[in-house]
Amino acid sequence: MAGKTFPWVLTASVPWADGPQYTRGTHDGLPLLSYGCAPRAKLATYRQLRAMGLRPNGQDPVAVLYVRHNASGKTSFASLYLIEKAAPVRPMTPAKWTALAKANLARRICRICGKDPLYVLPTSTGLCWPCFAAETAVSDTVDCGTADDWAEAA
Ligand SMILES: [Zn+2]
């Protein structure tokens, strides 16, 4: 396959421009473009979108970019997406924020005092630090056999 080239083809219509455009034929049914002739202002690969803080947003690729690696003689292909249809990465809807807040809140409520200490509790204890410290202190005291003395004094 070394030396295979993709001839220029005048394509009647493409999603990223008005009127006929030169492409390198088609690949998997999509217009094929060579590196350098893809309109950088209109089309971007997934990686290029991520570099711009964007994601394809569910759109199908509108073209395929091929890059020839001279060293290996291999050709690789990358899907191209319309930049204008891309969306910012991780848009948070109000419902998503609410769900996230609830999930975080549940993990922050202390088992003993029922308060929200405003940080996520250690899952091993489920206690806020004051309660954890108190629990530890009590059991330490019990271990020492002075729990009753300690309770009367308090
Ligand atoms: Zn607590």
Q: What is the pLDDT of residues 42-61, one digit of tens each?
A: 999 999 998 888 999 999 99
User: Residue 22's closest CA among 44, 61, 32?
Assistant: 32
Residues 55 and 112 in one domain: no
CA 98 to ligand 1 center in whole angstroms: 24
- Taking the centre of ligand 1 as the mean of its atom positions, its distance from the CA of residue 121, in whole angstroms, is 10
- The rounded Å distance from CA 154 to ligand 1 centre is 19
Please state the separation of Cα 101 from the chain's center in Å: 19
**71 within a domain of the structure (yes/no):** yes
Look-up of token digits 């003395």: 149
Q: Ligand 1 mean position to 147 CA, how many Å?
A: 21
**Does 103 lie in the same domain as 42?**
no
Q: Tell whether 98 is covered by a domain.
A: yes
Distance 128 CA to ligand 1 centre (A): 4
Closest of 55, 100, 63 to residue 79, by C-alpha:
63
- Percentage of the chain with pLDDT > 70? 86
Query: Are 104 and 149 in a shared domain?
Result: yes
Cα(30) to ligand 1 centroid in Å equals 60
How far apart are the CA of 146 and the centre of ligand 1, in A?
A: 24
Co-location of 28 and 99 in the same domain: no
What pLDDT, on the 0 to 100 scale, is given for residue 154?
47
Q: CA-CA distance, 97 to 117, in Å (whole number)?
A: 20
Q: What is the pLDDT of residue 55?
A: 92
pLDDT of residue 2: 46
Q: What is the model's pLDDT at position 91?
A: 67
Q: Same domain for 61 and 98?
A: no
Q: What range does the domain containing 40 cover?
A: 9-88
Residue 3 falls within a domain, yes or no? no
Same-domain status, 83 and 27: yes
- What CA–CA distance (Å, rounded) separates 57 from 78? 17
- Ligand 1: distance of its center to the CA of 10 in Å? 71
98 and 32 assigned to the same domain: no
Residues of the chain short of pLDDT 70, as ranges, are 1-4, 91, 138-154
Please check whether residues 118 and 147 belong to one and the same domain.
yes
Task: Calculate the CA dihedral of residues 103, 105, 107, 113 and round it to 10 degrees.
Answer: -150
Whether residues 101 and 66 share a domain: the answer is: no
- 47 CA from centroid of ligand 1 (Å): 46
Q: Look at residues 36, 57, 88 and tell me which one is the last residue of a structural domain.
A: 88
Statement to judge: residues 56 and 78 lie in one domain: yes
Q: What is the pLDDT of residue 46?
A: 94
Q: Note whether residue 33 is domain-resident.
A: yes
- Domain count for the chain: 2
